[in-house]
Structure 1
Amino acid sequence: MYILLALVGACALGIAVHFLIADRELRGVVLAPAIATAVSAIVYTGLQWLGVGEDSIWLWLASVLGAAVIAALATFAITGMRKRSDTAARAALGI
């Protein structure tokens, strides 16, 4: 049940990431929260399988804050790729 706390926390931070990164109109509103939640689930489950207990601060830092950092990096990368793609498309169309 503690995994739900990590997932909700990561999703909330993912929402914050979405609003803190510029060019929101170039990506979907659920991109950053979805990435953060998925990464949080993978990290939390992986650390639990490795034997890290629920009382360990490292489990929570990695699964909540680490997921938000990865979501921010992925969002930056995806937004950058979208900008380059749009620029190339405009150039090809002569706009």
Structure 2
Amino acid sequence: MELLYVTVIGASLGLILRYVLPKRETYGAALLPAIGAAVTSIVWVGLVWAGWTFDGGWIWVASLGAAVVVVVLTALLIPGRRAEADVALFDSLAGVKA
């Protein structure tokens, strides 16, 4: 049951960070919440398999902290790469040689 709770909290953190971080128009509305939920649940399951107890506080901190770090990195890296890809696509469609 705790896996469900931590996954929902991870998705919620991703949703909050979507509106806090800049350049959100360069990626979809569900991307950061989905990444937050996925990272949180993967880290949680990995830590439970490693022997961490679900009623301890550190598993919550580690799982949610990992989700926040990955979501922030994703939100900061996508806009630059998206701009480069858009320019390259526009140049190829316009017939411009690089």
TM-score by length of 1: 0.87
Q: Which residue of 2 aligns with 1:7?
A: 7
Task: Return 5+ residue gaps in structure 1 as ranges.
Answer: none
Task: Return 5+ residue gaps in structure 2 as ranges.
Answer: none
Deviations 1:21-49 (A, max 9, x none): 22221110011110010001100000000
Q: Which residue of 2 aligns with 1:21?
A: 21
**Aligned-residue CA RMSD in angstroms?**
1.5
Shift of 1:66: 1.7
Q: Given that residues 10 and 65 in structure 1 are in contact (C-alpha distance below 8 angstroms), is that contact kept between their aligned partners in structure 2?
A: no
Q: Given that residues 31 and 75 in structure 1 are in contact (C-alpha distance below 8 angstroms), is that contact kept between their aligned partners in structure 2?
A: no
Letter in 2 for 1:57: G
- Number of equivalent positions: 94
Shift of 1:65: 2.4
TM-score by length of 2: 0.85
Is the radius of gyration larger for structure 1 or structure 2?
Answer: 2
Find the aligned partners of 1:47 and 1:86 in 2 and give their Cα distance. 39
| Percent identity over paired residues | 35
Find the aligned partners of 2:46 and 2:68 in 1 and give their Cα distance. 17
Runs of 4+ in 1 over 4 A off after TM superposition: none
Q: Which residue of 1 aligns with 2:79?
A: 79
Q: Which residue of 2 aligns with 1:51?
A: 51
Q: Please, which moves more after superposition, 29-38 or 75-84?
A: 75-84
Find the aligned partners of 1:57 and 1:12 in 2 and give their Cα distance. 19
Find the aligned partners of 1:34 and 1:23 in 2 and give their Cα distance. 18
